[in-house]
């Protein structure tokens, strides 16, 4: 007379009051959302790098000070 402590259940998943969501569906939704987030992260990173490089080229010479250079020929004093 061995007691069976294992219960076999056919309704694996999230058991809500009116319906049950299977574990495979929850796993699929989590996997797809993670892959989409990683793809969006890569695209956003590439776009921000491109915008940074473009703005660097745009403002490259605007903020530099104007330097007064002496004449290349020294004046002779008499």
3-state secondary structure 17-50: CCCEEEHHHHHHHHHHHHHHHHHHHHHHHHHHHH
Q: Which of 15-19, 29-33, 73-77 has the lowest mean pLDDT?
A: 73-77
Domain-located, residue 24: no
Q: Which of 2-16, 23-37, 50-64 has the lowest mean pLDDT?
A: 2-16
Range of the domain at 45: 30-59
A 10 A CB-CB count for 13 gives 14
pLDDT level of residue 31 (50, 70, 90 thresholds): very high
Q: Provide the pLDDT for residue 77.
A: 63
Tell me 13's DSSP state.
E
Domain-located, residue 43: yes
Domain-located, residue 37: yes
Domain-located, residue 74: no
Domain-located, residue 36: yes
Q: Which tens digits make up the pLDDT trace of 35-48?
A: 999 999 999 999 99
Domain-located, residue 68: no
Looking at the structure of the chain, the number of domains it has is: 1
């Amino acid at each position: 007379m061995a007691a069976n402590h294992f219960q076999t259940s056919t309704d694996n998943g999230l058991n809500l009051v009116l319906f049950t969501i299977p574990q495979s569906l929850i796993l699929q939704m989590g996997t797809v959302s993670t892959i989409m987030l990683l793809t969006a992260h890569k695209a956003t990173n590439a776009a921000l790098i491109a915008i940074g490089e473009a703005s660097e080229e745009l403002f490259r010479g605007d903020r530099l000070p104007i330097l007064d250079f002496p004449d290349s020929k020294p004046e002779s004093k008499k």
